[in-house]
Amino acid sequence: DVKVTQSSRYLVKRTGEKVFLECVQDMDHENMFWYRQDPGLGLRLIYFSYDVKMKEKGDIPEGYSVSREKKERFSLILESASTNQTSMYLCASSPPGFTEAFFGQGTRLTVV
């Protein structure tokens, strides 16, 4: 089975902290994605990466950055956490082409 693993299920951080969310996939997928999910707004794409060291902005990249140093790992970085970044964060991966996307279990981040 494809496995996408997010490092934490729940995180509580303070305003202004630098926060790292980690995602690892074990299927050698080229594409990886970070979404956030909020009630009433649905899932929105923050960043995605189609290869090591490659990244592209999604719909809501402001306040976030990403890092992909190895193919299997895609990190989302909140440079200075703010309360409006309290959300459910979901990582996904997929091979190139017309294929399925697979999601991790999600990280519920609360910024206080």
Partner 1 sequence: KQEVTQIPAALSVPEGENLVLNCSFTDSAIYNLQWFRQDPGKGLTSLLLIQSSQREQTSGRLNASLDKSSGRSTLYIAASQPGDSATYLCAVKGGSSNTGKLIFGQGTTLQVKP
**Residue 5 or residue 15: which is nearer to partner 1 going by CB?**
5
Distance of closest approach, residue 16 Cβ to partner 1, in angstroms: 27
**Residue 35 or residue 78: which is nearer to partner 1 going by CB?**
35
**Residue 77 or residue 101: which is nearer to partner 1 going by CB?**
101
Interface residues toward partner 1, by CB under 8 A? 4, 6, 30-31, 33, 40, 42-43, 45, 48, 50, 56, 58, 88, 90, 92, 96-106, 108
Measure the CA–CA gap between 53 and 76, rounded to whole angstroms. Answer: 13
- The answer to whether 88 and 107 are in contact (CB under 8 A) is yes
Distance of closest approach, residue 79 Cβ to partner 1, in angstroms: 23
Distance of closest approach, residue 80 Cβ to partner 1, in angstroms: 26
> For residue 102, what are its two tokens?
């697979």
- The answer to whether 74 and 28 are in contact (CB under 8 A) is no
> Based on C-alpha coordinates, what's the Rg of the chain?
13
Measure the CA–CA gap between 24 and 17, rounded to whole angstroms. Answer: 23
**Residue 67 or residue 102: which is nearer to partner 1 going by CB?**
102
Residue with tokens 């707004």: 41
